Structure 1
Amino acid sequence: MMKQKEFYIPFSGLGQGKHEFEYTINNPFFESFGYDEFNAADIDLHVVLNKMSTMLEFEMKAQGTVNVNCDLTNEPFDQPIGADLELVVKFGSEFNDEDDEILIIPHGEHQVNIAQYVYEMLVLAVPQKRIHPGVLDGTLQSEALKKLEELQPKEEKKESDPRWDELKKLLTDK
């Protein structure tokens, strides 16, 4: 995995208080993690670091689009995404990232890499089921949709069995 240099935030030279960072995330970012589900990505990330004497607080907000293939038709479309993540960084004797919201780094460290947290936040922001907006509103014309409609099971009107009808009456008679 390629290390994302721009996602290393050096906090040792910063004064206490809030500091802001802006990033534009494109497909090479996801490819560096070996993730190739997106055709393209254009996401703006805003990071606010609140440096305190004993810990660091990160607030990350992302907005943008990822181009993905529809699960029904395989047609590419831009899926809007938005995500928020809060991360607390504390100092301890050794590195520990077992908790999703608290990162513990050794006392001597002077920078934090937030790339893994950004990656996970953005990948989880994309819906599990990706459906082209044209499928939902009926404007997309596709061979795959025509074939799915063709293969859809036909509803048959079944004659009711008179024995069951008599039993159903028992349920409603009170």
Structure 2
Amino acid sequence: MRLTLVIGVCVVSFFTSAGSVLAHIGVTPGLLVVGDTQTLVLTVHNDLDRPMTGLSVAAPGGVRIGLGDVGQKWEAIVENETATWMGGPLAANTGTTFEVELAVEDATLVGPVQLQAEQLYPRGGSLPWPISVTVIPARADSSQRLTWAIVGALALFATVGIGLLALRRRGRILQEG
């Protein structure tokens, strides 16, 4: 039973991470901080046998999108939380990088979020790619640290108390036996 569970977890982990491993749009860094703006570098590879003429990246709710360094070969615009680069082109079987600035709003939940990218091709062709990034909390201020210190101290106190009660009960059981 235990071996089956371990194998199941491994298989699920493999298939959930395989999409990002096989994807041809990489992201560096893969972390966003709540309440901050980060510049992400998207590494894009054109796998098709025709030139890529654009890239579109849409941000989810709670994340505002902007443009980083556009470069000389591309023209870029931002509309409705979607950044689009047009021009290029990017030849078949070659790669390039794009920069995007993402501002994470204070109310955004911590955890994984997904940007939706599309490689654009002539005559309306496109190739969609999900880009997963993780939103992490901002550094805690002193009041948050104090709250967590109090919670931690109470948890430690409760754990020690339960341990002492268990030892005391164990001693009584041994004396009776």
TM-score under structure 2 length normalisation: 0.30
**Larger fraction in helix:** 2
**Larger fraction in strand:** 2
Q: RCO greater where, 1 or 2, for CA within 8 Å and sep 6 or more?
A: 2
